[in-house]
Amino acid sequence: MGFPHMLVGYMRVSSDSDRQTTDLQRDALLTAGVDARHLFEDRASGAKDDRPGLAKALAFVQPDDVLVVWKLDRLGRSLSHLLTIVDTLREQQVAFRSLTEGMDTTTPSGELLFQVFGALAQYERALTRERVIAGLAAAKRRGRLGGRPPAIIGEKLDTILAALNGGMSKAAVCRNFGVKRTTLIETLARVGWPGTRETLRR
pTM passes above 0.75:
no
CA separation, residue 66 to residues 15, 97, 133, 154, 160 (Å): 26, 7, 37, 34, 28
Entry field: residues in the chain: 202
- The string of pLDDT tens digits covering residues 97-123 is 999 888 888 888 777 776 777 677 667
The pLDDT of residue 6 is 93
Chain centroid to Cα 190, Å, comes to 24
The pLDDT of residue 199 is 43
pLDDT string in tens for the chain (202-residue length)? 444 579 999 998 876 556 667 888 999 999 999 999 999 998 875 445 567 888 899 889 999 999 999 988 888 777 777 777 887 888 889 999 999 888 888 888 777 776 777 677 667 667 777 777 776 666 666 655 544 555 687 777 877 887 787 777 888 888 878 888 888 988 888 777 765 544 433 4
In the three-class reduction of DSSP (H, G, I as helix; E, B as strand; rest coil), residue 147 is classed as coil
14 catalytic? Reply is: yes
- Among residues 14, 45, 78, 109, the one annotated as catalytic is 14
Q: Encode burial over 160-175: b for 16+ CB neighbours within 10 A, e otherwise.
A: bbbbbbbbbebebbbe
The pLDDT of residue 125 is 65
- The string of pLDDT tens digits covering residues 69-95 is 998 888 877 777 777 788 788 888 999
CATH of the domain spanning 7-106, picked from 3.40.640.10, 3.40.50.720, 3.40.50.1390, 3.40.50.150: 3.40.50.1390
Residue extents of the structural domains in the chain: 7-106, 135-201
